[in-house]
């Protein structure tokens, strides 16, 4: 079982930046692909970004491409989401997720191994 704990959410103005962090631990945690999802009330949780266990390959939703960067920390027990040029529509609860592959993460919420508790990001004008 993989345990995930997010931090770094908060409030920022349009055009600002935030960095989210996700600490993960548990059995074989370094072999999992990790990703970020977000959800607003009344909508389904949507994929934002994913990174392979090696940290070599990354994937992004079209809506955040060029503005967000996902990375893994040294030792692979941290994953980060650097969010730049934030827009009001980025406002959501952001969740860290672990899965067997980035393909699982990119194709939705089915077969996700573990979720974090979520952290709120609010972007205001």
pLDDT tens readout for residues 28-56: 666 889 999 999 999 999 999 999 988 89
Structure confidence by residue, pLDDT tens digits, 90-115: 999 999 999 999 999 999 888 999 99
> Which pLDDT band, with edges at 50, 70 and 90, does 61 fall under?
very high
Q: Are strands 33-39 and 92-99 parallel, antiparallel or unpaired?
A: antiparallel
Look-up of token digits 């027990």? 77
Is a pLDDT exceeding 70 seen at residue 75? no
| 34 in Cβ contact with 25 (< 8 Å) | no
- The average confidence (pLDDT) of the chain is 93
Burial class (CB in 10 A: 0-12, 13-18, 19+), 90: buried
């Amino acid at each position: 079982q993989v345990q995930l704990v997010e931090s770094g959410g908060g409030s920022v103005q349009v055009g600002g930046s935030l960095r989210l962090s996700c600490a993960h631990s548990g059995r074989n945690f370094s072999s999992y692909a990790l990703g970020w999802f977000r959800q607003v009330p009344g909508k389904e949780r949507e994929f934002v970004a994913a990174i392979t266990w090696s940290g070599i390959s990354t994937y992004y939703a079209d809506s955040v491409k060029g503005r967000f960067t996902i990375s893994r920390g040294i030792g692979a027990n941290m994953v980060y989401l650097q969010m730049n040029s934030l827009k009001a529509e980025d406002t959501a609860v952001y969740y860290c997720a672990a899965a067997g592959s980035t393909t699982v993460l990119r194709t939705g919420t089915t077969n996700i191994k573990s979720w974090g508790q979520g952290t709120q990001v609010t972007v205001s004008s």
